Amino acid sequence: MSQVKAVNVEISVVLGRSQLPMQQLLRMGRGAVIPLDAKASDEVWILANNHPVARGQIQISDDRIAIAVTGPANVYDFMAGGAAQS
C-alpha cells in the first residue's frame, strides 16, 4: 500500500469549454481570445490523470492561483459537457 501512496498523479483544472471551427482555430495567433461556456463564478472541474474527481472554486492570492475543493465530481455531468454547471 505504501508504494501506491508514492505514485504521482497529474492534477489539472478545466475552466470551461468551447467549440470552434478548425478554420478559426488555425487563424488564431498571439492575443486571440477563446470564449468559454463558463462564468467567473462557476465551479471548475478538478481532474486527476484526466478523470474528474472533484469540483472547486478559483482563488487568487497575490499573484498565485489556487483551487479550493468544494465537493466530489459528478462524472456524468462532466461527460455531458457540464463544465459550466455548478
Res. 76: pLDDT tops 90:
no
> Which residues, other chains included, contact 25 with Cβ-Cβ below 8 Å and sequence gap of 6+?
none
What integer pLDDT is reported at residue 11 of this predicted model?
97
Residue extents of the structural domains in the chain: 2-79
Q: What does the pLDDT look like over 32-72, one tens digit per residue?
A: 999 999 988 899 999 999 999 999 999 998 999 999 999 99
**Residue reference for cell 497575490:** 62
DSSP character at residue 79:
H
**Which CATH code for domain 2-79?**
2.30.330.10
C-alpha 86/C-alpha 43 separation (Å) is 5
Res. 84: pLDDT tops 60:
no
32 DSSP β-pair partners: none
